[in-house]
Chain A
Amino acid sequence: MDSALATLLATKLGERLLLPVRQRFDETEIRVSIAHATETLRILHDDPMLEFEMLIDLCGVDTGEEMQVVYHLSSSRSSDWLRLIVPGLERNAPRIASATSIWPGAEWMEREAYDMFGIIFEGNRDLRRIYMPDDYRSFPLRKDFYLADDASRSPAAGVRNMERAGTPQDATPATALRRTTGA
């Protein structure tokens, strides 16, 4: 936990941060809005006291109400991972500026976020599908894309419909809980 980093980020980024810097174990997390995302990344990359020159990961997150883009950065000056969350992308038209102007290697990671969520990265010169075929029409990792067999229930909730042996729906608890041995 690098507390010096927290104060440094607060001073450098100031009012761009939506929430105070959060730290847990060896991760530092900050949130900025969509409008400030690119300049925040540029400050993090270029500032000689921060020097976050490595982009470790870029991914999209669908929270159900909104979408987020999450960047993980690493610097040789700090022992913490830095997580930059950009919340507030609309679920039905998510757009954000691309990070490829700072890190050209983000191109494919943004392509993957587009392919899986539909997030448009403005400035990415090659924003097309990367995993799914070119004529695929859905965005698989969205929360309203359901896998087959209605697989959104937890395994802890009980036997799923496809696998349930013929127990009648209105069985009394004593019958339903009886386990057949071996058969």
Chain B
Amino acid sequence: MAINDPRPNENLPAVTPERSVRTPLIVPNTLYTTDDARAYGGIPLEEHPNLELARYAATGDGRVDDARWSGALAAIPTKADVVLDLIRANSLWPLLSGLACCAIEMMSTATPKNDIDRWGMFPFRASPRQADVLIVAGTLTTKMAEPLIRLWEQMPEPKWVVAMGDCTCSGGRYKRSYSVVQGIDRVMPVDVYIPGCPPRPEGLIYGMMKLQQLVKDRRGHWNERAIGPTAPEGI
């Protein structure tokens, strides 16, 4: 319906001859979101019969693995669980998010000497839409925090985060710096911490194997992890 629509889209600024692209054409965000009244056949998303978004938001069902039994039956492990987990764990595609020195060691892990392709993790995707795991390798600065959070938000579920290197675990050697985020767990939930400055590729591989184990152990509840530093009081 929208393709052949002859009505002009009132969200775009008018292009008059004297204004023709002399000012930047800023496309407001509303065009491609569901705020556009003509999307989804004109029905507001919350009321759309096929999508059931309201129910998912209310019950939290949208963030649970549909392929598994839920409720009381979740305690029963099935072969489908095992297969799903195996598939996910053995094909974790990382996002290319090397920030600093640890990125070199991450690249070294991807190259033939320490070949991470043995675990299916070679395709470092450039686009967050295609990635499963965000390996934050390198120091996160306050200026980079916002782009990194945007990247993480753009990754579709299920997703995991690996903090590689001391700087991402806790700020590392930049503990007192004015522009370094003291550990990425201050801005996003982390599944595996890999300390080291930089960690050896073998260390990264060990961390990724731990992540694989986590994926298999959690049996679909990938978002159940502690958020924020979990050091006890007084430390």
A151 lies within 8 A of B143 (CB): no
Q: Which of B142, B143, B177, B178 is most buried by chain A, counting CB atoms within 10 A of its CB?
A: B178
B142 lies within 8 A of A140 (CB): no
B143 lies within 8 A of A147 (CB): no
Decide yes or no whether B7 CB sits under 8 A from chain A.
no
A132 lies within 8 A of B179 (CB): yes
A147 lies within 8 A of B177 (CB): yes
Decide yes or no whether A168 CB sits under 8 A from chain B.
no
For the complex, count residues of A whose C-beta is within 8 A of B.
Answer: 9
Whose C-beta in chain A lies nearest to the C-beta of B177? A147
| Residues of the B chain whose Cβ atoms lie less than 8 Å from the Cβ of A170 | none
Whose C-beta in chain B lies nearest to the C-beta of A149? B176
Q: How far is the CA of A140 from the CA of B176 in the complex (A)?
A: 13
| Residues of the B chain whose Cβ atoms lie less than 8 Å from the Cβ of A151 | 176
For the complex, count residues of B whose C-beta is within 8 A of A.
Answer: 6
Q: How far is the CA of A145 from the CA of B177 in the complex (A)?
A: 12
- Majority secondary structure, A binding face: loop
B176 lies within 8 A of A133 (CB): no
Whose C-beta in chain A lies nearest to the C-beta of B146? A133
Decide yes or no whether A148 CB sits under 8 A from chain B.
yes
| Residues of the A chain whose Cβ atoms lie less than 8 Å from the Cβ of B178 | 140, 145, 147-148
Q: Mark B136-157, 1 if CB is under 8 A from A, else 0.
A: 0000001100000000000000
Q: How far is the CA of A147 from the CA of B178 in the complex (A)?
A: 6
B176 lies within 8 A of A132 (CB): no
List residues 101-152 of chain B with CB under 8 A from any CB of chain A. 142-143
| Residues of the B chain whose Cβ atoms lie less than 8 Å from the Cβ of A132 | 143, 179
A147 lies within 8 A of B176 (CB): yes
| Residues of the B chain whose Cβ atoms lie less than 8 Å from the Cβ of A140 | 178-179
Whose C-beta in chain B lies nearest to the C-beta of A133? B143
Q: How far is the CA of A131 from the CA of B143 in the complex (A)?
A: 9
| Residues of the A chain whose Cβ atoms lie less than 8 Å from the Cβ of B176 | 147-149, 151
Q: How many Å from the CB of A85 to the closest CB on chain B?
A: 27
Q: How far is the CA of A17 from the CA of B234 in the complex (A)?
A: 58
List residues 143-159 of chain A with CB under 8 A from any CB of chain B. 145, 147-149, 151
Q: How far is the CA of A151 from the CA of B174 in the complex (A)?
A: 13
A133 lies within 8 A of B177 (CB): no
Q: How many Å from the CB of A57 to the closest CB on chain B?
A: 22
List residues 156-197 of chain B with CB under 8 A from any CB of chain A. 176-179
Q: How far is the CA of A151 from the CA of B177 in the complex (A)?
A: 10
| Residues of the A chain whose Cβ atoms lie less than 8 Å from the Cβ of B143 | 132-133
| Residues of the A chain whose Cβ atoms lie less than 8 Å from the Cβ of B179 | 131-132, 140
Whose C-beta in chain B lies nearest to the C-beta of A146? B178
List residues 136-176 of chain A with CB under 8 A from any CB of chain B. 140, 145, 147-149, 151
Q: How many Å from the CB of A9 to the closest CB on chain B?
A: 39
Q: How far is the CA of A39 from the CA of B124 in the complex (A)?
A: 53
Q: Mark A81-117, 1 if CB is under 8 A from B, else 0.
A: 0000000000000000000000000000000000000
Q: How far is the CA of A130 from the CA of B178 in the complex (A)?
A: 15
| Residues of the A chain whose Cβ atoms lie less than 8 Å from the Cβ of B142 | 133
- In the assembled complex, 15 residue pairs joining A and B whose CB atoms fall closer than 8 Å, in A order, are A131-B179, A132-B143, A132-B179, A133-B142, A133-B143, A140-B178, A140-B179, A145-B178, A147-B176, A147-B177, A147-B178, A148-B176, A148-B178, A149-B176, A151-B176
Binding site for A on B (CB under 8 A): 142-143, 176-179
Closest 7 CB pairs of A and B: A147-B176, A151-B176, A133-B143, A148-B176, A140-B178, A149-B176, A147-B178
Q: A133-B143, A151-B176 are in contact. List 5 more A-B contacts (CB 8 A).
A: A131-B179, A132-B143, A140-B179, A145-B178, A147-B178
